[in-house]
């Protein structure tokens, strides 16, 4: 890492400090007219070191916000309700609780940890001996236990394909890798000696 970058300095590339009474190089950036958005990175103002320090000393990120908006931005759980993969409606498909079902992040973490422990403990005590190691992995990819039969395998496969296939979920292709694992697991298991 270059020393200039660490200190916030950018090569000026011909930029001049935007302070009206300055002609130094504009090597330090400051927030501009609009911030980051889905349209791309925000706009920056460029100042020399002296004037960026002056700008920063008077900058107020909360300017124009109401008291409620300031409180919401500073709250410890700020952004908790934002939809991420763990919040989406399809998040609980593998038996784990959905994060969006909880108001408190710590409750969600605890519930998911308990679900993971329970699933791991259940796998230890179940008898997978009629399946090869690859078939056991395929069963886990399908979300099936060792007592599954051919009918249950077909039902689960049909359910997972409906859930993950882009033609069935509005063209969402974000689950294609998961769909591919399900298809591969089904192809392996339908020919397994345990299901013959």
Instruction: Examine the fold and report which residue of 58, 81, 98 is the final residue of a domain before the chain moves on.
Output: 58
In this structure, are residues 97 and 104 in contact, taking their beta carbons and an 8 Å threshold? no
Mean pLDDT of 108-128: 70
Q: Who's near 10: CB < 8 A, 6+ residues apart?
A: 4, 27, 28, 29
Phi, psi for 131 (deg, rounded to 5): -115, 145
145-146-152-155 Cα dihedral, nearest 10 degrees: 50
Phi, psi for 195 (deg, rounded to 5): -100, 0
Domain count, the chain: 2
Domain CATH number, residue 183: 1.10.287.110
Instruction: Examine the fold and report which residue of 58, 75, 101 is the final residue of a domain before the chain moves on.
Output: 58
Query: Which residues constitute the domain of residue 146?
Result: 126-195
Look up the pTM and report it.
0.39
Residue 118 lies in a domain: no
Better-scored residue on pLDDT, 92 or 179: 179
Asked if the model's pLDDT at residue 156 lies above 80, the reply is yes
Structure tokens at 23: 């002609």
In this structure, are residues 17 and 51 in contact, taking their beta carbons and an 8 Å threshold? yes
Question: Which letter does DSSP use for residue 46 in this model?
Answer: E
Share of the chain above pLDDT 90, in %: 10
* pLDDT confidence bin for 1, thresholds 50/70/90: very low
Residue 68 lies in a domain: no
pLDDT at position 10? 79
pLDDT at position 174? 76
Please state whether beta strands 44-47 and 28-31 pair in parallel, antiparallel, or not at all (unpaired).
antiparallel
Instruction: Examine the fold and report which residue of 13, 30, 58 is the final residue of a domain before the chain moves on.
Output: 58
Which residue's entry shows tokens 């038996």?
Answer: 95
Mean model confidence pLDDT for the chain: 77
């Amino acid at each position: 890492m270059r020393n200039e970058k660490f200190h916030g300095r950018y090569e000026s590339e011909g930029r001049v400090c935007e302070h009206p009474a300055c002609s130094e190089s504009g090597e330090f950036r400051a927030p501009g007219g609009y911030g980051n958005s889905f349209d791309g990175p925000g706009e920056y103002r460029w100042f020399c070191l002296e004037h960026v320090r002056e700008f920063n000393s008077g900058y107020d990120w909360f300017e124009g916000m109401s008291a409620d908006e300031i409180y919401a931005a500073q709250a410890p759980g700020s952004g908790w309700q934002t939809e991420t993969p763990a919040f989406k409606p399809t998040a609980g498909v593998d038996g784990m609780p959905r994060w969006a079902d909880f108001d408190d992040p710590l409750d969600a973490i605890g519930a998911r940890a308990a679900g993971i422990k329970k699933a791991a403990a259940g796998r230890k005590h179940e008898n997978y001996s009629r399946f090869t190691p690859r078939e056991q992995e395929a069963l886990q990819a399908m979300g099936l236990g060792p007592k599954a039969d051919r009918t249950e395998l077909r039902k689960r496969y049909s359910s997972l394909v409906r859930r993950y296939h882009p033609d069935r979920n509005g063209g969402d292709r974000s689950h294609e890798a998961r769909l591919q694992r399900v298809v591969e697991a089904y192809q392996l298991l339908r020919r397994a000696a345990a299901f013959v």
